[in-house]
Amino acid sequence: MTSATRWLYPLCISVLLMMPLGQSALARECVAVITAGTGHHFWRSIESGALQAGSELGVDIFFRVLYDETSVDAQEQILREALEKQCIGVVLAPNSSEHRKTLDLFRQKNLPIVLIDRSMALGTVYAQVMTNNYRAGQQAAREMVARLRGEGSVTVLRLKPGVASTDAREQGFLDEIKKSSLTLLPPVYMGTGIVEIRHNADLYLQQHISELDGLFTPNESTTLGVMAEIKRKGQEKRLVHIGFDYNRYLIQGLASGEIDGLLLQQPHAIGFQGVKLVMAAHGGQPAPQEVIYTPVYYLTAENMHSTQAQQFLDLYSDEGSMMRIRK
């Protein structure tokens, strides 16, 4: 492991992998990896990390996504499909606590469950790997206070109620702003689709642009949709916009000054570690005692060409060096 990887990936456990005795060389086991969304760079990077781990460990990855992040029935169906395929464990970004009964079927078969991206009351699980979303929201608020030098009015343009990861980011931002000297304007929900987000962002900006100085968007789709709508409207007033997650369009927006900062997660590392943890459990290794939190990195136009920024993008992007920022 390089020093750069150790800096970005300071996970507090050592995973020792043990393959079951008597396993046929022709029979490849599978690990189910089930996300809570599709189409976003974040989830594609989760898949990339999981596939890399599967390749290294000689296990197939049964990867499935949801077209609607809030579709409980769809995720329930995929969980049952993983059972039917006799996967040896599941890496899950849960979208509802209603899955507890189905996950009990995994537990009855002694199949390890690893939660990623968000915590949820789903009973006993082997491990959890994720961003500390609440603290990341707090960090976004502190960066906003610094950028506005403690003066002005801000808000958070929220995703959708009930999405645990973005709920936590939004709450962290709100709580931290309330402790600051900034004025908090009423937050609103944008929705999950880009068209819906842009429509709602347009309505909000029409009503509040005169009193608004900064805004926070808590995930990739809200950040992309709001950035695009601000650009389309050509607002004369310069708003400080801090977003979450990244793709090539958001990085281009950062370079051109259309957005002020991006909180970057480590989705590749989360997917990679999720699969490794399932295999560790399968090999009889003891469960981690605490949630494994992967760090975030605050990317700005000022630091985007730094060694740390480039290492982050190169090591934890499914597109690898294609995401590298060019001067």
pLDDT of residue 315: 57
Are residue 95 and residue 48 in the same domain, yes or no? yes
Does residue 151 belong to any structural domain of this protein?
A: yes
Encode pLDDT of 234-243 as tens digits: 877 789 999 9
Tell me the mean pLDDT in the region 101-124.
96
Angle (deg, nearest 10), helices 164-178 and 133-148: 40
| pTM score | 0.83
Does residue 323 belong to any structural domain of this protein?
A: no
**Total residue length of the chain:** 327
Coil vs helix vs strand at 57: helix
> Tokens for 180?
């600051």
Does residue 163 belong to any structural domain of this protein?
A: yes
Are residue 216 and residue 280 in the same domain, yes or no? no
Does residue 185 belong to any structural domain of this protein?
A: yes
Are residue 178 and residue 214 in the same domain, yes or no? yes
Does residue 240 belong to any structural domain of this protein?
A: yes
CATH number at residue 232: 3.40.50.2300
Are residue 176 and residue 102 in the same domain, yes or no? no
Are residue 241 and residue 287 in the same domain, yes or no? no
Cα distance between residue 246 and residue 262, in whole Å: 7
Q: Which helix (H) or strand (E) holds 176?
A: helix 164-178
Residue 32 DSSP label? E
Are residue 23 and residue 126 in the same domain, yes or no? yes
Residue 137 vs residues 2, 166, 238, 264: alpha-carbon distances, Å:
29, 9, 22, 12
Phi, psi of 19 (to 5 degrees): -90, 145
Q: How confident is the model at residue 189 (pLDDT cuts 50, 70, 90)?
A: very high
Are residue 137 and residue 243 in the same domain, yes or no? yes
User: Taking 70 as the threshold, does the pLDDT of residue 19 lie above it?
Assistant: no
Cα distance between residue 129 and residue 162, in whole Å: 20
Are residue 176 and residue 156 in the same domain, yes or no? yes
Does residue 319 belong to any structural domain of this protein?
A: no
Are residue 121 and residue 180 in the same domain, yes or no? no
| Listed residue (44, 24, 26, 27) closest to 35, CA to CA | 44
Provide the number of structural domains found in the chain.
Answer: 2
Encode pLDDT of 155-179 as tens digits: 999 999 988 899 999 999 999 999 9
Beta strand 297-300 with 261-264: parallel, antiparallel or unpaired?
antiparallel
**Partners of 31 in beta bridges:** 61
* Environment class of 10 (CB within 10 Å of its CB; exposed 0-12, middle 13-18, buried 19+): exposed
pLDDT of residue 41: 82
DSSP string, 119-158: ----S--SEEEE--HHHHHHHHHHHHHHHHTT-SEEEEEE
Average model confidence (pLDDT) across the chain: 87
149 is in which domain, residue-wise? 133-264
Q: How confident is the model at residue 66 (pLDDT cuts 50, 70, 90)?
A: confident
Q: How confident is the model at residue 316 (pLDDT cuts 50, 70, 90)?
A: low
Q: How confident is the model at residue 312 (pLDDT cuts 50, 70, 90)?
A: confident
